[in-house]
Structure 1
Amino acid sequence: MKALAVLACALTLAANAAFAEPVSVKFTEGVSHAFPVLRSVGGEKLAQGELVQIPRGDSVENRLTFRFRDGSVYDERVVFSQKDTFTLMSYQIVQKGPSFPESIEARVDRETGRYEVRYKGDEDAAEEILKGKIELPTDVYNGLLGMLMKNMPAGTATTVQIIAFTPKPRLVKMLLTPAGSDTVMMGEAAVSATRFLVKPQLGLFASLLVSDLPDVKVWILGGEAPAFLKFEGPLFFMGPIWRIDWS
């Protein structure tokens, strides 16, 4: 509960009415089924993942699930459209189990503007249920940041927003910045990839409250068929550094 209280305060101090532009579609998304792995920074396998993406009419459904060895579950579902620009239509997240200090199940829908959050500060706490309405700007991209990086013009940075559940939903700006090229090993193949940094834009005073936020790093293969290669960072606020890759 302490981590969410600090985050809520930081986001309140960082409130800003200026919105960025939605990201234009350069590479459309299609059917995909893959099995990512989540590891500690030391290489220990923590969870087996499954990624399923299916186009349905004018939208695309994307679901990423990690099932941890300790019984924890991370389950993220995103529905988005990709006509000219990417638009988040709905979002659901479940985080529960001993790998997560707080348990949360949240959903938000653009069409209705409604959200619902079920939250427990720890396993012994009573469940809190929050319901209400929130207006989603066109640049909100929960669960889609890696996809956006594949579509960003080379060498350019962009600012988008995500919904942070504190547990009440709040909007926070995220700066996506290309930070150089690295060689990433994909099996026995050495691949040159762009390393992106993802940084929350908390503002000066808010940054003083959470000055030790780690960098989130994402490696993207460029070219005519760009691809996500690797992620390194926390999956939740003030969480440990974890890695996601395909090996």
Structure 2
Amino acid sequence: MKRSDFLVVVFWTMTVGTAALAEPIPVTHIQRPMHRFMVARSEDGKTIASGEFSQVVQGDEVTMRMTYRFVDGSIDDETTTYRQQGTFRLVRNHHIEQGPFFARPIDFTVEAATGIVTSRTIDKNGGIHAESKHMDLPDDLANGLVGTLLLNVPPNTAPFRATMLAPVGGGRSVRLLISPEDEQTVQLAGQNLKATVFRIHPELGGIVGLIARLLGLQPKDVMVWVLEGEEPAVAVIVGQLGGYGPVVSSELEGASLGK
């Protein structure tokens, strides 16, 4: 197995027995139509991609799309549909990563209602191959939804877990431990706004976690700054795209961390 392949497997593998059952997140902030722009930067502050976020609401069903277009021609495009009726339930998620920025391109679709998971690959001749299978998916599946969940938990919430389905081996369940860390200031449109900082930690256990630490392949935690108030918003995300590779800072256009 190539080192890059093992890195992805390590990130998306876990021992299920180490994770407690997740509690459903109640809807406290109804999501509405919106359109926002993002900027992605490298660790040295250089702009590497521009992002566009849109959200459409039909009844209790929300469809959101986040697209990053990189200066090197790469693209990260994710569309997620979910229901916000009492609690959040994923309907479908489609995530594409392709181009030179990504060591492993992905085209991965999850249909939560039916349990059908589809992976698409492109062969050396440009032919597209799709493989689908049925999986028993948990109610707390959060592909594309983690940011929305963070908008609906109070700053003093206890740590909680969510499940994601990773695009490895046709789909592999992963547990994420999500914890509030601190309160910091985010500067946006000339204002200093209070934000809660959340840490998202992938739980690796057993031999997989041990090997990851020994090889230096333990994925880094993702940090998320969520603006507080009547209409909370995700302002800054710092982490590795796809769970591996360089750390990227993704920010609302015009946002920066307070000094």
Provide the residue aligned with 1:82 in structure 2.
84
Deviations 1:136-194 (A, max 9, x none): 21111111111111111331221111111114211101011000111222243222211
Provide the residue aligned with 1:38 in structure 2.
40
Inter-CA distance 71–15: structure 2 relative to 1 (3 Å threshold): same
CA–CA separation in structure 2 for the residues paired with 1:29 and 1:123: 42
SS of the counterpart of 2:23? coil
1:217 Cα offset (Å): 0.4
Provide the residue aligned with 1:137 in structure 2.
138
Inter-CA distance 98–6: structure 2 relative to 1 (3 Å threshold): closer
1:59 Cα offset (Å): 0.8
SS of the counterpart of 1:236? helix
1:154 paired to 2:155: yes
Q: Is the 8 A contact 1:110 1:135 kept in 2?
A: no
CA–CA separation in structure 2 for the residues paired with 1:236 and 1:96: 11
Identity of aligned residues (%): 33
The Cα RMSD (Å) is 2.3
CA–CA separation in structure 1 for the residues paired with 2:243 and 2:131: 19
1:7 Cα offset (Å): 3.9
CA–CA separation in structure 2 for the residues paired with 1:6 and 1:39: 23
- Segments of structure 1 that go 5 or more residues without pairing to the other structure are none
CA–CA separation in structure 2 for the residues paired with 1:166 and 1:67: 24
Residue number among 96, 106, 116 corresponding to 1:104 in the alignment? 106
SS of the counterpart of 1:36? strand
SS of the counterpart of 1:139? coil
Residue number among 162, 165, 168 corresponding to 1:166 in the alignment? 168
TM superposition score normalised by structure 2: 0.87
Provide the residue aligned with 1:220 in structure 2.
226
Provide the residue aligned with 1:95 in structure 2.
97
- Segments of structure 2 that go 5 or more residues without pairing to the other structure are 255-259
Moved more, 157-166 or 15-24: 15-24
Counterpart AA for 2:136? E
Provide the residue aligned with 1:48 in structure 2.
50
